[in-house]
Amino acid sequence: MVSAFLVPLLLQAVLLLNVQAAPLDIEALRIPKVDPKKILCQLPLLERYLCPDGGLNSLSRITVLGTASGVLDPEGAHRYPVRYAKSNRWALSNLATSWELPNGSNNVSALPLACPQPDVSSSAYSEDCLSMVLYVPPSLTLASQAPVLVWIHGGSFVVGSATATGLDGSKLALATNSIVAVVQYRLGALGFLAPNGNTNLGVKDVINALEFIKKVAPSFGGSSSKVTIAGQSSGATMIRALLAAPSASSLFRSSILQSDPINYGHLRPATNTLLLNKFKEKVGCSSAACQAGLALGDILSAQNYVFNNAALGDNFAPAAGSAQPIRPVIDGSFITTPLDTTASFPSTSKPILVTTVQHEAASMIYGSFPALPEEAFAPICAMTFGDARTETVVGSPYYQPSPSSVVNGQIDARAQLQVVGTDYLWKCSGWTFSRAWVQAGGNAFVGQYVVGASYPGNDRVSICTQPNVICHQDDIQIVFGTVENPSSAQSALISEMQQRYKAFLTNGNPNAGGLATWAPATTSDVHSLRLGGTGEVSAGACDPGFWGSSVEYDYQFYN
């Protein structure tokens, strides 16, 4: 029953909905025509009575930055592409002050162009790329206070976009009853190798994306205080950079790091300088005017040289590593802590999820080498670890040939190299990070995917198409629920992970009714849950006495 004090308001509302506009030159006054019902349906006191559907079925929203227009995504959520910031080349980006579609488009159904990157048609990217796509469940009302999940794509900081395969956030938004925002940011040299010395531009772009979400989330039924940031591979590295940036702390309350190559750590300033100097040498351009006029093709060519030769080839910056040498730098002012074991972690209370997949390094190892004799194991390890670390690795019980490494009666050393690569780049360094996070006061939940869905591109590496082999990126479509024709095991894990994500977004704990208990990590036992299986993952070489102690991670070895 409507309470007495609402009757006058409701009567006025009904009158307003039915009144005919008086003659007025609207265009001359430059006042946009607004449907009164759309405004009234966004008033918490009236939406229940005038708009039983929540007033949100029209796909238009009145936000503090103007009217947002969206479309119905084929998977059921309402989809809103938007430009969240603008920037000049190698300058700090500026937060958007009005709601604008990406790339100056007037087509609300058009998705944003990617940021400039190699091996992509120039028609598919633009420097005007600081955009995101919001996926909003139709059931949300302005009173919902729903959580917000901000997804940061991977791609070694040189490729990727908000529209990459599998990143349609519609099913994930519906399953978790949350707003899903998929964000893109400046990549490669444009985001991380500014000749003028501006560091971490790509990371600061994401800060602006989070500021933008804080402003607009309430207009879509979301809560600006219930933001979780999530990402895979370099997207997870980006999250670790945000965790190390005090200025970002108030913009999110929890984090999900999938397959973060934590072994590398953040770049130190000296290593970043080596990369930057080589980039400037390759573009052959020292003045600001010249740099502003550089063709994107020349920038990408110089960037490719730096990426491919930092720790291989010319090997001018071995501490950068080979997988994602261009990455955030601990500059001391914005990113103030390494968040690795070379220094104490700052005190924290944020909960995190840290996950890897069972065969992280398989696509890299099997895609780089043909079958290898056992005699090749030590020399190839030495290319990465040097002699001292290699001696310890080769002599340990953890990386001896196993029955699965025998092919046609011969040992294939790639099987051992795959386990080493998975352990040191992702799994064990992630466990070390999680133990330190708990030591600093935060909760950490650690897991490993033992069921996955082959991500496009992995099918070029035959081992990644084999049953029970879960390669890097094979967790992405499980989380988003975008697997085509999923098997029963995949469907079960999709349902499980989306239930766990819903719980984590809501209360910082991934445990939900009917699911196996996911125990939080401690400083001595991370309790890594087998995602898609049963029980916990055995420690193996992730024992604290081996990786990070007997064998140093790269961030320890080089720094």
Token code pair at residue 112: 């944003």
The alpha-carbon radius of gyration of the chain (Å, integer) is 25
Residues 329 and 266: beta-carbon distance below 8 Å: yes
Cα 13–Cα 16–Cα 22 angle in degrees, nearest 5: 170
Identify the CA nearest to 354 among candidates 452, 429, 246.
Answer: 429
Q: Cα separations (Å) of 559 from 4, 549, 554?
A: 70, 15, 8
Dihedral through CA 415, CA 421, CA 423, CA 427, nearest 10? Answer: -120
Exposure on the CB side of residue 141, measured as CA atoms within 13 A: 17
Q: Residue 444, SS3?
A: strand
Q: If you ran DSSP here, which 8-state letter would residue 103 be given?
A: G
Please give the single-letter amino acid code of residue 540: G
Domain 64-320: give its CATH code: 3.40.50.1820
H helices, E strands: number in the chain: 18, 15
- Residue 434's Cα: distance from chain center in Å? 18
Torsion 275-291-205-183 (CA) sign: negative
Cα angle for residues 104, 109, 114 (degrees, 5° grid): 55
Instruction: Name the 3-class secondary structure at 445.
Output: strand
Are 131 and 82 in contact, with CB atoms under 8 Å apart? Answer: yes
- 385-389: Cβ within 8 A, 24+ apart: 385/551, 386/557, 389/551, 389/552, 389/557
Residue 60 near residue 69 (C-beta atoms within 8 A):
yes
Residue 403 burial by Cβ neighbours in a 10 Å radius (0-12, 13-18, 19+): exposed
What does the pLDDT profile of the chain (559 residues) look like in tens digits? 444 444 333 333 333 333 333 333 333 333 334 445 445 544 444 443 444 333 444 589 999 999 999 999 999 999 999 999 999 999 999 999 999 999 999 999 999 999 999 999 999 999 999 999 999 999 999 999 999 999 999 999 999 999 999 999 999 999 999 999 999 999 999 999 999 999 999 999 999 999 999 999 999 999 999 999 999 999 999 999 999 999 999 999 999 999 999 999 999 999 999 999 999 999 998 888 889 999 999 999 999 999 999 999 999 999 999 999 999 999 999 999 999 999 999 999 999 999 999 999 999 999 999 999 999 999 999 999 999 999 999 999 999 998 777 777 789 999 999 999 999 999 999 999 999 999 999 999 999 999 999 999 999 999 999 999 999 999 999 999 999 999 999 999 999 999 999 999 999 999 999 999 999 999 999 999 999 999 999 999 999 999 999 999 999 999 8
Where in the sequence of the chain do the CATH 3.40.50.1820 domains occur?
A: 64-320, 352-557
Nearest Cα residue to 265 out of 338, 156, 199, 324: 338
**Phi/psi at 128 (nearest 5 deg)?**
-85, 75
Residue written as tokens 């991934």? 510
CATH fold for domain 352-557: Rossmann fold (3.40.50)
